A and B are shown apart, each in its own frame.
Chain A
């Protein structure tokens, strides 16, 4: 057993796992914080919606599409100077979070927009007919009704972020993915590769199960 895992530096693994979880937690929180309002704006400004505005919608859509079409690895590098301004460093967990959020928030915003579109227009109309303001319609009717989709989207996004954190290792972010690349791949330490990949798999599995359980809880269809 110890022979097979000869190259594995367990304290290092623990540190890397902690870094991955911190990156994931921090970037996910910010992704939700920016992604939901952006998704709501995309929805509301869409054709035939409550605050239809083709110019705003076109602009937001363009920004989202640009950010989504830049390969994440490129985004990481392009973001370096911005990251330094924002958090004072481009290294470590803190340095990884800005590019992760910029990469994931537009993706999540689209998923939120899609979830909102799934809500029956009749619900919006009924809330309007009851004298609800646009703000009330969004916060009291649309978002609660779309909650299963919003949570399912968050699950997908969180899992995408797990693989993004691995790439963030390239710019010195640390974490499990970084370990897999530097030791497992570049130094041919298969045991390190196996351990990190298994840990990432467990993480993804937990995220999916947790997300599904949450969706089941809020679904009443």
Chain B
């Protein structure tokens, strides 16, 4: 659905040239929720803006659907942008217009007939639970409501793609949750392809099918969210994950003497099975859990823990667990 090929963006400033994006290649499939994470200054904002060409890359090509966005003439680009909705961290609503007028705005810009604009606007307001606020102005709404208006506006022209620029970063955790559920729902019900950039790992965990980690304008890691989260490879990913979860609680010095340490990862329904206990009993080994977390990634349950095996055949336990689909990694 979306393809970036060697996209490079350089900014010139008094201090010299700065590379915001360095030959980025990315592919986002139809109907996927794709997350781009990175620290501030990693190039996330620039990256998402190349998709609707709010930023024009210095090199490389961007495709959305079968259109090469980077090759479009101004009028064609404006038409293409109507099929790419976008929502923002600070909502960017028009303060002078009512909620209704804000949602109708893209349709008005396109010059659709009045009756159609009214019908479509009413439908969107109802769908997003904003009908009662139609005649209010943005200043009268809460952050979460404003973002709903932003989403309604982004959906007005019936886009195939929704770009979310730190869409939940200005919201409190509860509202963030509500907006993420809404995005999830839109993705499932409308088959909307969503690209979101965020520095909040929790956002990716909740809604993203795939994730790319950006550092200094390069993609350092990319894959299915569960794979990247459970088996991170790059130092940035590891660090960002650790911060998001309050850091690694495991401290090797506290492990029992002579114990064999292993990180076990359970995925899917197996997470809730007493696998570890069964295996331990069958091979006659004891274990202590040193750290652990049981949660969900985009709805898929997982458990990940560091255990120390003692007083028995640890090797056999590890082999048996592997057989049963538990991923076992050595811990240093």
Contacts and interface: CB of A to CB of B under 8 A. Distances in A.
B195 to A, nearest CB: 13
A145 B96 contact: yes
A140 interface: yes
B198 interface: no
Main secondary structure of the interface of B (DSSP, over half): mixed
A60 to B, nearest CB: 24
A131 B157 CA distance: 10
A29 interface: no
Interface residues of A, number: 21
A131 B92 CA distance: 15
Interface of A: 120, 122-123, 125-133, 136, 140-141, 144-145, 147, 218, 220-221
B257 interface: no
Tier of interface size on chain B: 20 to 34
28 contacts: A120-B92, A122-B91, A123-B92, A123-B93, A125-B54, A125-B92, A126-B88, A126-B93, A127-B109, A129-B52, A129-B81, A129-B86, A130-B106, A130-B157, A131-B78, A131-B79, A131-B82, A131-B110, A132-B78, A132-B109, A133-B78, A140-B108, A144-B94, A144-B97, A145-B96, A220-B95, A220-B138, A220-B139
A54 B163 CA distance: 32
B133 interface: no
Interface of B: 52, 54, 78-82, 84, 86, 88, 90-97, 105-106, 108-110, 137-139, 153, 157, 163
Contacts of B86: 126, 129-130
A120 B89 CA distance: 13
B105 A130 contact: yes
Given A130-B81, A130-B82, A122 B95 contact: no
